[in-house]
Structure 1
Amino acid sequence: MKKFITTLRDIFQIKELRDRIFYTLGFLAVFRLGSFILLPGLDPEIVSAAAGNPSNDLMGFLDTLLGGAFSRVSIFALGIMPYISASIVVQLLGMAVPYFQRLQKEGESGRKKINQITRVLTIAITLAQSSAYLATSVPEGAVIVSQQFFYVSSVILLTAGTVFCMWLGERITDKGIGNGISMLIMIGIISALPAAIMQEIDSNSNALWLVIELIMMFFVIMGVVLLTTAIRKVPVQYAKQIVGAGGKKKSFKTGQRSYIPLKVNAANVMPIIFAQSLMFLPSLIAGLFAETSDTAVWIANNFSDYTSVAYNTTFATLIILFTYFYTAITINPDQMADDLKRNNAFIPGVKPGEATSHYISLILDKITLPSAIFLAVIAVLPAFAQYANVTASLAPFFGGTSLIIMVGVILDTIQQIDSYLLMNSYDGMMQSGNVKGRQNVAIA
């Protein structure tokens, strides 16, 4: 406890870190406030009565991810989800379209162009999703103005709300702590946790079963933490060049030893977010043909229930595929092999160049498969929790998207805070003169 208090004191003694934390809290407060602002033209009482009764389990699950804004029909009802969908599309284009591949290689200028394309695509996706959302999620009889005026104005407001959420996420990333987009999703999830716990306590009078639930949740959290922090160390040696008296290179000898830390879950939370963003599409598309096709009715029913076998099988498969996909686009073994070769470094027992690239790819394949499977298992645990009579409001916190996002974002934020504390510690040592051997050298 004393160490915790000391850490808090050190955090608030660093001005830059303190400012970033306050910036983050302020932006998150604005985001939460916007999730309670109702779309104009709706009867608040009707919307409030329907907010706690989603039309299906999938809608309730999405409502958990969005902190209740989805069922409240707020201006932030779609949240940051259209931006995530746009990011998926752009990254897929980066794998297949030469233009996007060139942009990825252009450094900072290419990244800015990709970000701009993603923003424009976000607006287009939001316009489509907002129309579908208004047609399916607005409670019957809640519209108290002209239907045409309501739908036109609401599409504009929902699109503006998503763009504003996107802007908030970028500001948190630039001026705050942590990844802004993930932070917005996390705060929406956490906001539902206290009410979910209270509902579980009220609905379950068996104290022993509540203790068992907490123990199970603890072990699931520990498993997610281990998955998130696990790394595979690839040993690396640096060759030290020996130069003769005449300035000619004579030989190399073994120099400093190090390692490449390959994360077991290199894709982090992104496969879950990507897969979740796509899971509403089957039921949405099938709903358009429900009146003419029995198959469409089956798809709509099963993919609207996040505890169904079809939903969880598809969800787990998408997570495994996206884990491989995101690992492939974030880690480039060829580039890593080239960087090692340029720095006179090599992996013991492996030839530089193509052999090193193949060796790193083989390791990635070996560690990505168990990571993807474990990630998929964690993602479908809420369905099993609900089968075990855990309330629908608390079940998402037994694993799945909610827990993985929370753990991943919290660990990432803690790492950034630790980096600031470590940097401040080094600065303090330099200013106090505690670094031995440091001399002031005048440069003419």
Structure 2
Amino acid sequence: MFASMANAWKIPELRAKLLFTAAMIVVYRFGAHIPVPGVDIQAIQDFIQNGQAGVLGFLNLFSGGALTRFAVFALGIMPYITASIILQLLTMAFPSLKELAREGEAGQQKITQYTRYLTVVLALAQAVGYTMLFRTQGALPNFSVITFYEIVITLTAGTTLLMWIGELITQHGIGNGISLLIFASIVSGLVPGLMKFQTMTLVSTVIFLGVALLVVISIVMVQEGQRRIPIQYAKRQIGRKMTTGGSTYLPLSINMAGVIPVIFASAILMFPPTLSQFFPGDLMKSFSDFFNPRGAPFLIMFAIFIIGFTYFYTAVQFDPVERANDLKKNGGFIPGIRPGRPTAQYLDRVLTRLTLPGAIFLAAIAVLPSILIAVRSDITFYFGGTSVLIVVGVALQTLKQMESQLLMRHYEGFLK
């Protein structure tokens, strides 16, 4: 591991990518500590911490504590994720967007542009909602029209800047920029959370650490698990040359969607209770309590959404018909399966069966730690399954990208 890190640091291009990624994360964490103008931070912290088990505490986790400070990056990157979900759903529903997605890089750039516009609109609406919410809690003592516009514009600009930082990391750094920003947000709350071990009994501490270790090991095993479909290539004559046939395999991961379904499900389920926070009243309070992230209704819907989004995102990433046509064009076939439509049906059947245990695993890991915390009331360290899935999943994806860079230069990778 340390030798691989040393080798990565020796490569100028990889070193520049690592330094750029680190610099962007530092900028993000710096912006998460700069409050917007005219706000009483203590009043906001008291309000959120009094309802820490509710939705605002969960949202504060994804913003890296920026929400309790009502910082420039208080909205986090969640508006961009919500916009991405909406655009992907619209792409599946509208043929014009589906055709645009098939146009390659030019079409994808157009969809990305639409996602950016929608992100700004969602961030603007969310900024207005948070401003009005915190005003009712006395967190804006000198509230005026000018202050209102300053706060809304600052929060919207902060989310837009975060979106740009995430895209810069993806283009010029290591790993997926949006995922790394969420990773940095969650990890930033790890150190303060570890201090809560002092209030836990020895039995609860041992149980918590044991479950956490088991969860991390199982996540790594499932993320790396795959089924290999054998592929045989026949000899072909191209011009005057005869190509040599051979055999290889098509790897199908158990969890092809990664941690995206967990992030998508969190974004969708956080939207209704977030809206309810902006409107006072007993009805809205009951609605917010129903969507309590540690409550049974939320956990059940969370698991269902994760399973659904796992199938949805897997279908977006892997098209059996397109893959079967590519194999047929290149003279490849699966032994015992006819090329063309039978191959597509076979791949679809295998992928459907393979995705089910992966989806159930994601849902179980996401909700089981919350159930453990509910059973053991003295466990005060809330670093649930959603956080662990995202942290471990993003770390594995980033290590894989670094490993590919090392292997291209004939170095030994991280994952052996």
Range into which the TM-score falls when normalised by the shorter chain = over 0.9
Partner deviation per Cα, 1:268-300 (whole Å, 9 max, x = no partner): 11111111111123334556787485xx65432
Q: Please state whether the residue corresponding to 1:299 is helix, strand or coil.
A: helix
Partner deviation per Cα, 1:186-216 (whole Å, 9 max, x = no partner): 00000101111111x2211x33432232111
* Structure 2 counterparts to residues 76-115 of structure 1, below 5 A: 76-115=73-112
Unaligned runs of 5+ in 1: 427-444
C-alpha distance in structure 2 between counterparts of 1:394 and 1:272, whole Å: 20
C-alpha distance in structure 1 between counterparts of 2:162 and 2:276, whole Å: 29
Partner deviation per Cα, 1:68-109 (whole Å, 9 max, x = no partner): 011211110111000000000110111011221111111111
Instruction: Sort the Cα spacing of 1:155 and 1:350 in 2 relative to 1 into closer, same or farther, 3 A.
Output: same
Contact 2:130 / 2:278 at 8 angstroms: preserved in 1? Answer: no
AA aligned opposite 1:300: S
Contact 2:311 / 2:355 at 8 angstroms: preserved in 1? Answer: yes
Alignment TM-score, normalising by the size of structure 2? 0.93
Partner deviation per Cα, 1:337-377 (whole Å, 9 max, x = no partner): 01100111100110000000000000111011111111111
Partner deviation per Cα, 1:174-193 (whole Å, 9 max, x = no partner): 11110000000000000101
Partner deviation per Cα, 1:358-413 (whole Å, 9 max, x = no partner): 0000011101111111111111123212113366762334x1x2111111110011
Q: Please state whether the residue corresponding to 1:195 is helix, strand or coil.
A: helix
* Structure 2 counterparts to residues 30-41 of structure 1, below 5 A: 30-41=27-38
* Structure 2 counterparts to residues 232-381 of structure 1, below 5 A: 232-241=227-236, 255-285=245-275, 291=281, 298-303=286-291, 305-381=292-368
Q: Please state whether the residue corresponding to 2:410 is helix, strand or coil.
A: helix
Equivalent residue pairs, number: 412
Q: Please state whether the residue corresponding to 1:112 is helix, strand or coil.
A: helix
Shift of the alpha carbon at 1:329?
1.1
Contact 2:132 / 2:278 at 8 angstroms: preserved in 1? Answer: no
Is structure 2 residue 159 aligned with structure 1 residue 162? yes
Q: Please state whether the residue corresponding to 2:234 is helix, strand or coil.
A: strand
Structure 2 counterpart of 1:409 = 394
C-alpha distance in structure 2 between counterparts of 1:292 and 1:61, whole Å: 21
Partner deviation per Cα, 1:298-349 (whole Å, 9 max, x = no partner): 432211x111111111111111111111111111001100110011110011
* Structure 2 counterparts to residues 179-194 of structure 1, below 5 A: 179-194=176-191
AA aligned opposite 2:232: Q
C-alpha distance in structure 1 between counterparts of 2:280 and 2:180, whole Å: 37
Structure 2 counterpart of 1:10 = 7
Structure 2 counterpart of 1:207 = 202
C-alpha distance in structure 2 between counterparts of 1:297 and 1:59, whole Å: 13
Q: Please state whether the residue corresponding to 1:395 is helix, strand or coil.
A: coil
Partner deviation per Cα, 1:102-154 (whole Å, 9 max, x = no partner): 11111111011111111001011111111122223457222132332222211
Structure 2 counterpart of 1:440 = none
Contact 1:47 / 1:139 at 8 angstroms: preserved in 2? Answer: no
C-alpha distance in structure 2 between counterparts of 1:226 and 1:166, whole Å: 31
Structure 1 counterpart of 2:414 = none
C-alpha distance in structure 1 between counterparts of 2:251 and 2:144, whole Å: 57
RMSD, aligned CA: 2.5
218-227 or 81-90, larger mean C-alpha shift: 218-227
Structure 2 counterpart of 1:429 = none
Is structure 2 residue 214 aligned with structure 1 residue 219? yes
C-alpha distance in structure 2 between counterparts of 1:292 and 1:217, whole Å: 37
Structure 2 counterpart of 1:196 = 193
Contact 1:57 / 1:306 at 8 angstroms: preserved in 2? Answer: yes
C-alpha distance in structure 1 between counterparts of 2:300 and 2:144, whole Å: 39
C-alpha distance in structure 1 between counterparts of 2:335 and 2:199, whole Å: 59
AA aligned opposite 2:205: L
Instruction: Sort the Cα spacing of 1:69 and 1:237 in 2 relative to 1 into closer, same or farther, 3 A.
Output: same
Alignment TM-score, normalising by the size of structure 1? 0.87
C-alpha distance in structure 2 between counterparts of 1:297 and 1:44, whole Å: 23
Shift of the alpha carbon at 1:424?
1.3
Q: Please state whether the residue corresponding to 2:394 is helix, strand or coil.
A: helix
Larger radius of gyration between Structure 1 and Structure 2:
1
* Structure 2 counterparts to residues 39-58 of structure 1, below 5 A: 39-50=36-47, 52-54=49-51, 56-58=53-55
Structure 1 counterpart of 2:25 = 28
Contact 1:235 / 1:259 at 8 angstroms: preserved in 2? Answer: yes
Unaligned runs of 5+ in 2: 412-416
278-287 or 207-216, larger mean C-alpha shift: 278-287
